[in-house]
Chains A and B, each alone.
Chain A
């Protein structure tokens, strides 16, 4: 078999990578252990949330599939942070878990130029001229030019629950043991991480009268700028109590985490219930979000109490939770421990610096989350395709100021990660310039330039751009005369809108009968543009300085020849291989004086 791009793994990263490759015009083959569960949601049945919503909108702007599939199978929408500025709003959709993977599998299978192969890649052979051959477990092979590794939690995966340990990256599925050998032989630095899942319970075994309902919301745009589905399903809020905590504390010696069996590092932002009880001993209660797994599904996901305690302990403490007295567990929580590759060995195209033409996306890079995986998959897939097609289409590189995707990738390749990396809005220093709603304005042009999205979509974005800038111009040119509000006399509508007390629709009260845009997207974008204008200007000035540092490219510098850098600093620089001076400056533990020394060295080298 032969193709341009081979994608290994059929999760969220793998699916977006394969689809992006096809959109670029490449012949793509996707190898997955099973071919009927592509895009499986192994953890919570939800897409989006604070900062993750941004990633989904960015995937949308780059033509990815996650936003469409999500909107097709959503059962509830909520806008998190709604009372705050729209730049930090986060759209979150509860989705029908089974429907999601069914839709994604169908979509992939009907995509022309994309072939799905069920199997496990056990080895990769590197040929001349960048050619590669993937060897499958049955002995067959696939020849290709570029490979995207999106193996999720499957590399050397072990699952834990109490004293039980079994192999596999997801309950009921296997693990990939042999591919890691190839990676370590090539010189990839392998680390180990851990994640966990909560128990799932029968939906009709819970007493909802003892919980607080969390209904869905309407009146906002969906990920694909449509209207949310009318019939939404409620989630519920439950709480743990002292009795639950006592049971957990009494059984910590039976937790594989506290027995020291698990060496992988878990995420601090998503601790297991046993971690919460130990680390926050003074809290008498923790929240549980009870999330139905679908419209028809008879299951609920218990967000907030992931656990690897033994089955009997999970059973006992669950029943102490108000509303869970009769809870019937269908799947007990467990922890997964898996290998990942140090992402500092990647470029910002997600191509490895170790093996040319080999791209990495998703949890293998140390991240967690569907959205994080999908966004990386898209970038890796587009770049792998461009590379396989001869490189003339350029590279998809997203700057920190251009998108959360750019922030994430830059963080990964420069700083690496020691725990499963998750997106936070606070990681984005240009947060005030990056809203969910501006994703298309920020990214679609880039995608269009390299042929990742088509002209029709580009035209839509240009139209949006014009409507927004036209409306801002109009607000600037409209001055207030004879308003009811005396103190606004003589000001322009733009100046009024800049005041924190006013929003776009309030302008209707300022000038009676004024025509305002009815397009909610235009309304939000105009408001953001006007309200943050001063701060955005300041951010641009800060950005200019960084851009200057980015223009100082570091190619082929032998850091051991640079005087004035400590041995530790040299090793760090060598480990990261920063592409430019800005990246070098952001490596943790590198002193500003060492950056100065590096600058001096590069100047001398240029003059020599």
Chain B
């Protein structure tokens, strides 16, 4: 069996309902196969000029009945996604029709593509570097819009651009060091302080990239925010407001929300799982008791909490204790004082709570019902879910474990390299570590060559005697 240059087919759009679906065929037989089943509206054989859309019908095998009216486009190698001959057929609906067309094409001897095979071919054929290929893989996995835009940026080569820049700085450093081993008589001594400083810069750039991976994972996985507080403080009202719908039932009766409910929303590009819980202070018996216990369990594991206070009552000791516990556990917490629109003197309650809670937690006065104070709350919430929109927009992200692991190794080598400059200089070991750093970046970029370091020496120094 041929394993690289046979022809493959698959539906390129996700399965399920949809207005259109795209069937992609890649490989040397792509065009000849499509000729057999596509009848252009203009009649005769379709000329399939490269990169032109043709309207026509897909015919079934038996009897030649029309399966669907479609648009087809031919992209000859190497100017296609996979760098092979590619035909894409846009048909109606996502699932059934596209499947029929794929099956029809398979009848003509074309193999169904394995998962990710188009991208694998694109990579193997040199259409993209490895970080781009990784970005494609990530794109198909990420759920949040911001995560997707990061993967898309990496697909354009933003990460590899950054990595290449860092690699180049490592190559230059290595050339400086190697020149001192090979030709110290000609080029003079190594600038130790300067080299140390440049390694420091490199270290902080790498550190930033490593940090970006943690953020990226957050974005990909999404975060969970739990709304809690005593019964009947208005948690579900806030929940519904954030959702923009009446998802939870709201009533004046205390304890309307018996069990926790969760919905996904998007805040500043981040996927957020918002959880509304049963309030504290319900009878701990029967079904209600179990619901409360489950809410408590959730709270015990929570990393992000919106803690809601009631402006219409006085200061409650239990609230103070719980808020302080959360602080001690290192939970990220937003404390809101609700119902300020109907409280007699919410300022007084606010001041009392502030005085009672140590560490001076900031309390945001709101009315989940009227919308008062929501602007301040929303921005605090966006901050808490990890990433402010403007920060996410222009940062470069590491988005695979492979990249993270290699970068960690490079970071370790950079640290060791600094140790080989001070207090005792061991230039031959420094050179070894810089070589590894350079190769680390080459590995990250999926490339490998060796001559550029010498190249660097020769363009920057007058060598030889």
Contacts and interface: CB of A to CB of B under 8 A. Distances in A.
Interface of A: 50-51, 80-81, 84-85, 87-88, 267-271, 276, 279-280, 283, 286-289, 303-304, 415, 424-426, 429, 431-432, 500-501, 532, 535, 563-564, 566, 585-586, 588, 591-593, 596-597, 600, 604
A287 B3 CA distance: 60
B424 A501 contact: yes
A52 to B, nearest CB: 11
B454 A426 contact: yes
Interface residues of B, number: 36
11 contacts: A81-B181, A267-B464, A270-B465, A287-B185, A424-B178, A426-B454, A432-B429, A563-B2, A563-B4, A564-B4, A585-B448
Contacts of B125: 564, 593
A376 to B, nearest CB: 20
A593 B429 contact: no
B4 to A, nearest CB: 4
Given A269-B458, A563-B2, 5 more contacts: A286-B462, A287-B465, A585-B448, A592-B446, A597-B4
A400 B449 CA distance: 16
Contacts of B446: 592
A597 B124 contact: yes
B290 interface: no
B46 to A, nearest CB: 29
A270 B186 CA distance: 12
B448 A432 contact: no
A432 B435 CA distance: 12
Given A424-B182, A566-B126, A270 B464 contact: yes
A481 B423 CA distance: 27
B50 to A, nearest CB: 21
Contacts of B2: 563
Interface of B: 2-5, 123-126, 178, 181-182, 184-186, 423-424, 426-429, 431-432, 435, 446-451, 453-454, 458, 462-465
Contact of A593 (B124, B431, B451, B454): B124
A276 B464 CA distance: 9
A269 B124 contact: no
Nearest to B442: A592
Nearest to B449: A588
Contact of A431 (B432, B448, B450): B432
Nearest to A588: B449
A601 B36 CA distance: 32
Contact of B182 (A51, A283, A501): A51
A88 B186 CA distance: 17
Contacts of A585: 448
Contacts of A280: 462
Contact of A88 (B126, B181, B447, B462): B181
Q: Which 8 A-B pairs have the closest CB atoms?
A: A304-B465, A500-B424, A280-B462, A563-B4, A85-B428, A564-B4, A426-B178, A270-B464
B426 A268 contact: no
A429 B428 contact: no
A80 B451 CA distance: 25
Nearest to B446: A592
Given A85-B427, A283-B462, A588 B182 contact: no
Nearest to B451: A588
A600 B453 CA distance: 31
A102 to B, nearest CB: 27
A374 B329 CA distance: 72
Contact of B453 (A267, A303, A426, A500): A426
Contacts of A50: 181-182
Contacts of B4: 563-564, 597, 600
B126 A593 contact: yes
A216 to B, nearest CB: 16
Given A85-B427, A592-B447, A432 B432 contact: yes
B458 A593 contact: no
Contacts of A276: 462, 464
A74 B160 CA distance: 53
